[in-house]
Amino acid sequence: MVRGKRGLSFEEWITAECPNIKSEVDLRMSGKQAADIICNLGGTNNEENIDWEIIAIDGGSYIYTLTDNAYQRNPEMDRVFGQLVPTFKFTQ
């Protein structure tokens, strides 16, 4: 997904998008600054806490995101996702 930065720096965008960061790993993808972020979306009433993993890539005026929807994380998904992320390339 491509999202506007709304005039924010990359780090400001991450903080605005995920105020409750559980972990953040800085990455480089095709020469671009990127981050693998685990957000905790919390829970309300009887809902479970949900962790959201997002890969955000700084594309200048835009942020490119992978896994833009919350999901319950599991070890198998983490393993597969970890294998896929390094294969992404940006072309002109």
Evaluate whether residue 79 is within a structural domain.
yes
Query: Across the beta sheet with 21-29, what order do the strands follow?
Result: 2-4, 62-66, 51-58, 32-40, 21-29
Residue-wise pLDDT tens digits, 63-90: 988 765 555 666 777 777 777 777 777 6
Residue-wise pLDDT tens digits, 14-65: 999 888 888 888 988 878 899 988 888 766 656 667 778 888 999 888 998 8
Evaluate whether residue 23 is within a structural domain.
yes
Evaluate whether residue 33 is within a structural domain.
yes
Residue 31 to residues 26, 40, 71, Cα–Cα distance (Å): 12, 28, 28
The alpha carbon torsion through 12, 13, 19, 23 (nearest 10 deg) reads -90
Evaluate whether residue 75 is within a structural domain.
yes
Distance in angstroms (rounded) separating the CA atoms of residues 41 and 5: 21
Residue 13, pLDDT score:
92
**DSSP H/E element including 59:** none
Residue 24, pLDDT score:
87
* Structural domain for 43, as ranges: 2-87
Evaluate whether residue 92 is within a structural domain.
no
pLDDT-derived band at 9 (thresholds 50, 70, 90) equals very high
Evaluate whether residue 48 is within a structural domain.
yes
